[in-house]
Amino acid sequence: MILAIETSCDDTCAAVVTGDAAIRSNVIASQGLIHARYGGVVPEIASRHHLELIDAVIDDALERADVTLDDIDRIAVTRGPGLIGALLVGVAVAKGLAAVRRLPLVPVDHLHGHVVASTLGDNPIEPPFLCLVASGGHTFLASVEDAGTYEVLGQTLDDAAGEAFDKGGRLLGLPYPGGPEMDRLSKQGDAGAFDFPRSLPGDGLDFSFSGLKTALLYRVRDIGEDETTRRRADLAASYQRAIVDVLVTRARLAIERTGARRFAIGGGVAANSELRERIAGACAELGVDLWVPPIALCTDNAAMIAAASRFTAALQYPEYLSLDASARVA
């Protein structure tokens, strides 16, 4: 029985997962509304709220799983990458809990969590597989031969796909985070109304989204505030289409180049309805099996951290007392 803790950004998360991948609880206390008024996550405020919420979130995760700390065999925690102050809250709490009970502690790479989210549940994906992770801070294609690690085949050279959604949303006057709002609004718009660039840098599997964001900025300036408001749904739909086109094009290329038979998506942008639909179409066409995690396992959550911890070496007491959080990929 694994108790996992995730506090890398602005969601305070705890989950109880069994060694054979059954999710007993997956609690997410989102601070989204608190940060919305600032138009983005304020690191210091995120850390303070993690501190206030973490005990209650862990209690809730145990209660919903119908277990107590006595039933927990190991603790898993996100070590990085993320906001350092936010990560430190989770790492300190995990170390404290593990130490008083002399339990093993597993430090987890947050991105490994996104990569292996589909190994949870009753139809778990098994290696080898390819994974597209598109989140607020990262966008990459990875090859997974062994669930304990992943090889990045290509990644964004500038902005992440989620960042493109959020910055685009801000330009359109949508509340933070822009991704879910853009998804909702796009359903009412014409994706062919505006022509936005599809940047496919090099001949490899890298991504680039900063030019797209600039193109939207210029377009909004050209047409003016009133017209932007009037045509917001068309702008959102066209902009989202450009992001999804690029993600699907690169995913197809990765599948063709590697000959992969299994594909998974992960990260907050994997919650996007158009991406979910289009990637399903592409995989069906290529005869590749696709795993699309439920939305609660796409955006930040602790169940995916528990998932990754099953494939990661545990630290024993007292060696983890010197464990530190890491803002960048370790």
The Cα 261–Cα 171 span in angstroms is 39
The Cα 133–Cα 251 span in angstroms is 10
DSSP per-residue string spanning 277-319: HHHHHHHHHHT-EEE---GGGTSS-SHHHHHHHTTSPPBPTTG
Taking the complex as a whole, the smallest distance from the CB of residue 23 to ligand ATP amounts, in Å, to: 17
Contact stretch for ligand ATP (CB under 6 A) within 136-144, 204-212, 215-223, 247-255: 136-144
**Residues 75, 315: contact at Cβ < 8 Å?**
no
Q: Which residue minimizes CB distance to ligand ATP?
A: 268
Per rule CB under 6 A, is residue 300 in the interface with ligand ATP? Answer: yes
Per rule CB under 6 A, is residue 49 in the interface with ligand ATP? Answer: no
- Read off the tokens for 277: 């639909």
Residue from 54, 172, 271, 325 touching ligand ATP (CB under 6 A): that is 271
Looking at the chain, the number of H-run helices and the number of E-run strands are 10, 10
> Of 166, 162, 164, 186, which Cα lies nearest the Cα of 176?
166
The Cα 110–Cα 6 span in angstroms is 8
* Residue 177 binding result from ligand ATP, Mg ion, none, given CB thresholds of 5 to 8 Å by partner type: ligand ATP
Per rule CB under 6 A, is residue 305 in the interface with ligand ATP? Answer: no
Q: Within 55-84, which residues bind ligand ATP (CB under 6 A)?
A: 82
Our CB check for Mg ion shows the closer of 159 and 300 to be 300
* Residue 165 binding result from Mg ion, ligand ATP, none, given CB thresholds of 5 to 8 Å by partner type: ligand ATP
Contact stretch for ligand ATP (CB under 6 A) within 97-105, 141-149, 158-166, 207-215: 158-166
Our CB check for ligand ATP shows the closer of 98 and 291 to be 291
Taking the complex as a whole, the smallest distance from the CB of residue 240 to ligand ATP amounts, in Å, to: 7
Q: Within 178-207, which residues bind ligand ATP (CB under 6 A)?
A: 178-180, 183
Taking the complex as a whole, the smallest distance from the CB of residue 243 to ligand ATP amounts, in Å, to: 8
> Of 38, 25, 2, which Cα lies nearest the Cα of 301?
25
- Packing angle, helices 161-171 and 210-230, rounded to 10: 30
**Residues 79, 35: contact at Cβ < 8 Å?**
no
List interacting residues with ligand ATP (CB under 6 A).
8-9, 82, 110, 114, 135-138, 162, 165-166, 177-180, 183, 267-269, 271-272, 299-300
